[in-house]
Amino acid sequence: VIWMKFHYFKMLFLSFLLQLGKEGFHKSHHFVYSNGVPLFIGSEKPGIGGELLIGQKVKPNYSVYPKGQGSGLPSWVAFDKQALCFEAYFQEDVPQSRDETYRIRNCKIYFYLEDDTIQVVEPEFKNSGIPQGTLIHRHRVPLPPPNDDQFYNIFHFNINQQMVLYSRTFTVTNCDTFTKNFLLKLGVRLNDPCIVPDDPYSSLRKSMKPLRPYERHYTLKQFLDHDGKVLRFYCFWDDRCQFGDQRELILLYYLADDTIEILEVTPQNSGRDHVPKFLNRSKLPKVRHMVGALISINFPSVREDFYQDRDLTIGGELNVWGRKVIICDCDEFTKEYYRSKYGIGIPSCCVPGSAPPYSGFGTEEDSLSSCQGLLLKPPQKDFRKFMEKDSNVLTFCAKMVTTDPVDKDRVFIVSFYLSDDSISVFEPPQRNTGVQGGSFLKRGRVKKPGQELFKSELSEYFTAQDLYVGATLCFNNKNFQILDADEYTFNYMDKHPEEVGKEWIFLSRGFFESSLNVPPTNTASQICSFGGLDVV
């Protein structure tokens, strides 16, 4: 009895020593009611005050992380918003398909360092026909049985190994650089990366060419950047093929969604009904497949190409549902837009007039002025040029370019009047030639050869830049070659090179003297004096 009392007091004293300084004496909850049935759940619970019972082992709730130098922060602070990324795939059986028996699906496994949670995401592909995206939402994933009471931690991950997540086997193939460096610092020996096997059905889909591939274009950024910005072009439609006229149009290009709207400018007393729009706002295709006159069909195998801002240029043509529309001009905002985006300047283009072709009566300027209004007005002349250049006449010496022995020795005086760009040709009389001299071409503007007579555009005439020593001119279907000029012409060319062009640099009197075979002392003034003509 004495021994039992001694042993009892000894145990009390030892327990007193063990509990000396201890503050927690709480007991773990070992029983719980589930659906009205009492259950024992305390086999893994610790003893009094949180102390482990005999035979119990500590199971860590989270992974063990290497502490940083001089940092004792908890993991949810030190590794906030940091995750390890692993590339993986799993094989899925397809029993109810004749085209494939299995499918290889690639995915990414994210392991969040702050709380050991795992997330599995599969990249989404268009027209895949299977649900993709997040396969496993972020949470702590338990280990496969019989260790399903534990969870995956960082030491369960490695490259070129298999992991079972909810009865689905994932094969980890590779990881990113951050994950690789983090695992190496933990002392984990990484395996070599492996290759993802080919999916036979995916290879078959890549080789297939769909009739009408649908692509999604993200236009939200374009809408936010260019909302309210509209390019304005001035254009016209030539509808004069059969009892029509020329229509003036305004083309509006909306940068927010690449749509085009065309408005018609209806002048007063035109006899036409005013319509609100020539073309409703929509995307304008470049080529449209038409069947018949009013029926258009969308062919599935044809991919339509629509007009964009880079296709709209001054002078360019647009196919607006079979109508030829020509762009002539644009506003200042449009010019600044092309200058800032493409670095090009847009010049203005005149709208072609609706004047009929030249009839042959009178001059072309008179005929054109009669079509511009009800009251006939004579064509306006450059009065300032007439007053300043009235007394300025350029005189040249020329000969006829021909193989006729009589005509090739004839000498002509070509006078160009700077006041109105008119030309006159005079032939000085020469003795014993058998040719009577005199006026060869009356003063007037001379058209350049090779132009159509009956046309709507004005003809081109000879100017002062076309007359220089060595030039060949055609007057009345006769070719003349200029040989020399008088002193006044040479001096005027030296003082006004911007009016006569750059060809005057090649003027030389040696060209005239060698071509005419006359003594070196002869000049144009001396030749003119043969016929009694005074050269100014």
pLDDT tens by residue, 71-90: 567 777 778 888 999 999 99
1-30 average pLDDT score: 76
Which segments within 283-428 are labelled E, that is strand?
290-291, 295-296, 317-320, 323-330, 393-400, 411-417, 422-427
Instruction: Average the pLDDT over 278-285 and give the result.
Output: 92
516 located within any domain: no
360 belongs to a structural domain: no
Cβ-count burial 464-483 (b if 16+ within 10 Å, e if not): bebbbbebebebeeeebebb
In a domain, 28, yes or no: no
Residue 97: HSE in the Cβ half-sphere, 13 Å Cα cutoff: 10
Same domain, 327 and 410: no
163 with 117, same domain? yes
Residues 48-71 pLDDT 10s = 777 777 777 766 666 655 544 445
CA distance 397 to 527: 8
pLDDT given for residue 386 in this prediction = 87
Nearest of 323, 358, 330 to residue 344 by alpha carbon? 330
Q: What is the pLDDT of residues 519-528, one digit of tens each?
A: 433 444 444 4
Q: By C-alpha distance, which of 152, 187, 190 is closest to 63?
A: 152
Contact in structure between 338 and 328 (CB atoms under 8 Å):
no
- CA torsion 428-431-433-438 (nearest 10°) is 30
**pLDDT, tens digit, for every residue of 466-484?**
888 888 999 888 899 999 8
Q: Are 316 and 346 in contact (CB under 8 A)?
A: no
For residue 469, the enclosing domain spans 383-511
Q: Are residues 273 and 173 part of one domain?
A: no
Alpha-carbon distance 53 to 101, whole Å?
Answer: 53
Same domain, 230 and 197: no
Question: Model confidence at 534, in pLDDT bands (50, 70, 90)?
Answer: very low
| DSSP E strand stretches across 374-504 | 393-400, 411-417, 422-427, 438-444, 472-475, 478-485
The tally of domains found in the chain comes to 3
Pair 186, 224 in one domain = no
CA dist., res. 501 & res. 467, Å (int): 9
Q: Which two tokens stand for residue 505?
A: 């640099």
Long-range contacts of 500-507 (CB under 8 A, 24+ apart): 500/394, 500/464, 500/465, 500/467, 500/468, 501/464, 501/465, 501/468, 503/465, 503/468, 503/470, 503/471, 504/468, 504/469, 506/468, 506/469, 506/470, 507/468, 507/469, 507/470
Distance between CA atoms of residues 180 and 164, nearest Å = 21
Residues facing 93 on adjacent strands: 102
Question: Does some domain include residue 337?
Answer: yes
Nearest residue to 312 via CA among 264, 352, 349: 349
Q: Are residues 79 and 169 in the same domain?
A: yes
Q: Which CATH number covers residue 442? A: 2.30.29.170
The reply to whether 447 and 477 lie within a common domain is: yes
Instruction: Please indicate, yes or no, whether residues 503 and 422 belong to a single structural domain of this protein.
Output: yes
Give pLDDT, residue 366: 82
- In angstroms, the CA 3 to CA 471 distance is 146
Q: Which residue has the higher pLDDT, 153 or 208?
A: 153
Question: Beta strands of 166-292 (E only): which ranges?
Answer: 168-175, 230-238, 246-254, 259-265, 279-282, 290-291
Does a structural domain hold residue 226? yes
154, 276: one domain: no
Of all residues in the chain, the percent with pLDDT exceeding 90 is 29
227 and 197 assigned to the same domain? no
Separation of alpha carbons 483 and 61, rounded Å: 109
Same domain, 226 and 191: no
**249: closest CA among 280, 284, 281, 278?**
278
With 90 as the cut, is the pLDDT of residue 11 above it? no
Strands 438-444 and 472-475: unpaired
Distant-in-sequence, close-in-space partners of 530: CB < 8 Å, separation ≥ 6: 428, 429, 430
- The better pLDDT of the pair 506, 370 is held by 370
Question: Given 176, 205, 234, which residue is the final one in a domain?
Answer: 205
Edge-first strand order for the sheet with 133-139 is: 133-139, 117-122, 102-112, 83-93, 168-175, 161-165
Helix (H) or strand (E) holding 511: helix 509-516
* Separation between Cα atoms, residue 269 and residue 234, nearest integer Å: 21
pLDDT (average), residues 380-399 = 88
Q: 397 with 280, same domain?
A: no
Residue 402 falls inside a structural domain? yes
Other C-beta atoms within 10 Å of 531: how many?
15
Give the integer Cα–Cα distance in Å for 30 and 216.
59
In this predicted model, what pLDDT tens digit does every residue of 152-164 receive, in sequence order?
Answer: 988 899 999 999 9
Q: Is residue 139 part of a domain?
A: yes
Beta strand pairing status for 478-485 and 393-400? antiparallel
| Strands lying side by side in the sheet with 472-475 | 438-444, 422-427, 411-417, 393-400, 478-485, 472-475
Contact at 8 Å (CB) between 350 and 328? yes
Residue at 46 is within a domain: no
Of 173-177, 433-437, 479-483, which range is least confident? 433-437
pLDDT-based confidence at residue 192 (cuts at 50, 70, 90): very high
Distance of alpha carbon 90 from the chain centroid: 41
